[in-house]
Amino acid sequence: MKLKELLPTNIKILLTENKIEQLKNIALPALDNTVKGKFLDKKEVEELKKEIESNYVDGDVSNFFGRRKDDIRQKAFNYDNPIAQKNINGVDVRIAEGLLRNNKKTYLLYADGEIIGEFYSVKDIKMIIKYMEDSLIK
């Protein structure tokens, strides 16, 4: 199913104090079986944050048993230097590199400084963001 077929005919969104959850809910129809990755719930975000922090390089332990830690702060595209950044209805949305999963790069989708999704393709995230924008404009 193509993304254009998923666009609802009439979306009226009143943004409240929970803009991030509304953006996630708007984009859910765009997550068809071709998109690799997902939006994360609060529990998954907390688990991911713990995993990210456990990979922080601190001193000489970065090469523990020959395995280099995957510190996302040292990647070319991190939260402070994102791959892409956009403001959608007052929500700062950013794409940055994530952790390696099964030897594949992941990309994190942030909204107002919080991780909201983990995906395997920047193209997929950009498609989701475009879907959010198009749906809010209608």
pLDDT at 20: 72
Q: Give the model's confidence band at 63: pLDDT under 50 very low, under 70 low, under 90 confident, else very high.
A: low
Look at 48-52, 64-68, 116-120 and tell me which has the smallest mean pLDDT.
64-68
Terminal-residue alpha carbon distance, the chain: 21
* Under 8 Å between Cβ of 3 and 131: yes
- Tell me: pLDDT of 80 over 90: yes
Tokens of 30: 């765009």
pLDDT of residue 85: 95
pTM above threshold 0.95? no
User: In this model, does residue 15 exceed pLDDT 60?
Assistant: no
Q: Say yes or no to pLDDT of 5 above 50.
A: no
* pLDDT value of residue 11: 30
Predicted pLDDT at 65:
54
Report the pLDDT value the prediction gives residue 137, as an integer from 0 to 100: 62
Which backbone phi and psi does 63 adopt, to 5 degrees? -120, 55
Tokens standing for 32?
Answer: 């068809």
- Range scoring the smallest mean pLDDT among 68-72, 97-101, 116-120, 122-126: 68-72
69 vs 59, residue with greater confidence: 69
For residue 94, give Cα distances in angstroms to 60, 64, 83: 31, 31, 7
